[in-house]
Amino acid sequence: MIDDDVQESQRRTLLVELFGSDVPSGLEGQLLRTADVAALFQVSERTVSEWARRRRIPSVRTPGGHRRYPAEEIRHLLARTEDAAWIERRMAALTHRPGDHTGA
């Protein structure tokens, strides 16, 4: 973990040297791998790559051509997805009350 902290500190220093105070938002903070994002959303890696290709989720490319995903933006998307799922479950519970035989 200490090595990760040192590496992240070095990365931040280099980004500031390259971009000054205008570091692009996609490069700030931790970057997640495709497998990490797939696990968070419970989908396949191929689905995550397709979302990125269609610009449904933000990503940056490594020099080797691999995608990385800004952790903070993925966290916001995941929270919105969970909020939407909660609202959908709540609405379903409200419209399908026990004893309600209206066919709704």
**Ranges of each domain in the chain:** 31-96
pLDDT tens for each residue of the chain, 104 residues long: 567 778 778 888 888 888 888 877 667 778 899 999 999 999 999 999 999 999 999 999 988 999 999 988 999 998 888 888 877 777 777 776 566 555 54
Q: Domain 31-96, CATH 1.10.1660.10 — does that match? A: yes
**Encoded tokens for 21:** 């105070």
User: What is the structure's pLDDT at 85?
Assistant: 81
**How far, in Å, CA of 79 to CA of 88, rounded?**
14
pLDDT for 15 equals: 83
Residue 33: per-residue pLDDT: 95
Phi/psi at 74 (5° precision)? -65, -40
pLDDT of amino acid 98: 61
